[in-house]
Amino acid sequence: MVTDWNKELITIVNTPKVQPPAIHPTRSFAMLQAAEYDAVVSITHADRPSLVSVDAPPRARPDAAADQAAHDVLTALYPSMAPAVDQVLAAELQAIPDGGPKREGIKVGSTVAARLVQNRSSDGSGATPAAFVPGTGPGDYRPTPPNFPAPVFTNWGTIRPFVLERGSQFRPAAPPAVTSADYAAALNEVESLGRDSSTTRTADQTSIAKFWGAAPIWNVWNEIAQRTVDANGASLENAVTVFSQLDFALADTAIALYDGKYHDQVWRPVTAIRLSDTAGNPGIVGDPTWTPLAVTAPDPSYPGAHSGFSEAAATVLSSFYGRREHLAVTSDGMPGVTRTFPSFQAAADEAGFSRILAGQHTRLDHVAGEKLGRQVADFVLDDSE
């Protein structure tokens, strides 16, 4: 049932025009999983609640509570999807015997969801971002070709985290200057490997770049968690714990990433390579016609998002299932393609590196993103103990 609701949210956020464009989807995942977790532990008292707690009769059904909490959060976040969400709830509750415990569980779930939605209504996610003013100097981020879209989530680093104290808590150190040898080496690597017509990128590396860029990375890691939880025969309490820790880490990593991105506002590789003659770095081999393998995401380059999200997810999942859990990864964006790994960490390493191969990031972005994701996940896990 926990994986069913997680799948339903992925279906929702994949539905065109349903996800509010100024609200990052990881917030919805964290709210869904917090609602299920808090509904269950309010009854079982197996652990302390994460965000809200209610008094619950000891005989209340925790499965009914989790179902109702999940339903109510999703309908509050996505009212237009209520008919589909109602159908999921009806199917889930039908499997639970009628009676007082079921009714009491439903009441607990509804109360938890209402309080959680109210709790997050003042987190700052609904604020209208100020207009972004791009820089014009060497290293300054500005919209990227071919369509030069406006930057996204410019204020996301300021919203209230789920577990972190603030978005800047683990802000990465400033990257090397664009005039440095380290920056030149990192940029030259992505110029070679990440070009659309690269002759140094192997066929498998091209597949890697396309695979990890085919679907939102937080969706992919939630799907990895779905298969892992199901394969390991998780109990209800274990499942809600795994998903809450995973999606708290992903949501707070998103906040921390955007804090860092808009604090340093580093230009993307495509800008740096095309405008290399303005960087003042003789070590950069520029090309005004250079085009990346993938269309560049509309936000600053440093730190790398795929690297941050993937490291956060791998850290959380490894803490539950160990560092040698073999996994097969699929992507909704590339049906029929599966990549296998000997560990969560191996998958995270490939996901982060894929953005260099796609021409999206430098290795400097990748390393900073990995460190940030690991720090956020460790903090989330420590807070739960």
pTM of the model: 0.97
The per-residue pLDDT for 172 is 98
The span from the CA of 87 to the CA of 204, in Å, is 42
The per-residue pLDDT for 285 is 84
- Percentage of residues in the chain having pLDDT higher than 90: 94
Mean pLDDT, range 18-26, rounded to an integer: 96
Q: Which CATH topology does 156-384 take?
A: Vanadium-containing Chloroperoxidase; domain 2 (1.10.606)
The span from the CA of 339 to the CA of 359, in Å, is 21
Mean pLDDT, range 363-382, rounded to an integer: 98
Domain boundaries, the chain: 2-120, 156-384
Least confident of 26-40, 43-57, 199-213: 43-57
The span from the CA of 112 to the CA of 219, in Å, is 25
The per-residue pLDDT for 333 is 84
What does each C-alpha distance from 120 to 27, 76, 111, 123 come to in angstroms? 9, 12, 15, 5
Around Cβ 158, how many Cβ atoms within 10 Å?
18
The per-residue pLDDT for 302 is 98
279 in Cβ contact with 265 (< 8 Å) = no
User: Which residue has tokens 């290293």?
Assistant: 139
What does each C-alpha distance from 190 to 35, 65, 352, 360, 362 come to in angstroms? 42, 49, 13, 8, 6
pLDDT single digits (tens) 328-351: 999 888 889 999 999 999 999 999
The span from the CA of 381 to the CA of 308, in Å, is 16
pLDDT single digits (tens) 265-302: 999 999 999 999 888 999 998 899 999 999 999 999 99
In the chain, which ranges are E strands? 327-330, 338-341
The per-residue pLDDT for 303 is 98
The per-residue pLDDT for 283 is 94
The per-residue pLDDT for 279 is 86
Q: Is the pLDDT of residue 368 over 90?
A: yes
Mean pLDDT, range 169-182, rounded to an integer: 97
222 in Cβ contact with 6 (< 8 Å) = yes
Around Cβ 383, how many Cβ atoms within 10 Å?
13
The per-residue pLDDT for 50 is 93
Mean pLDDT, range 310-315, rounded to an integer: 98
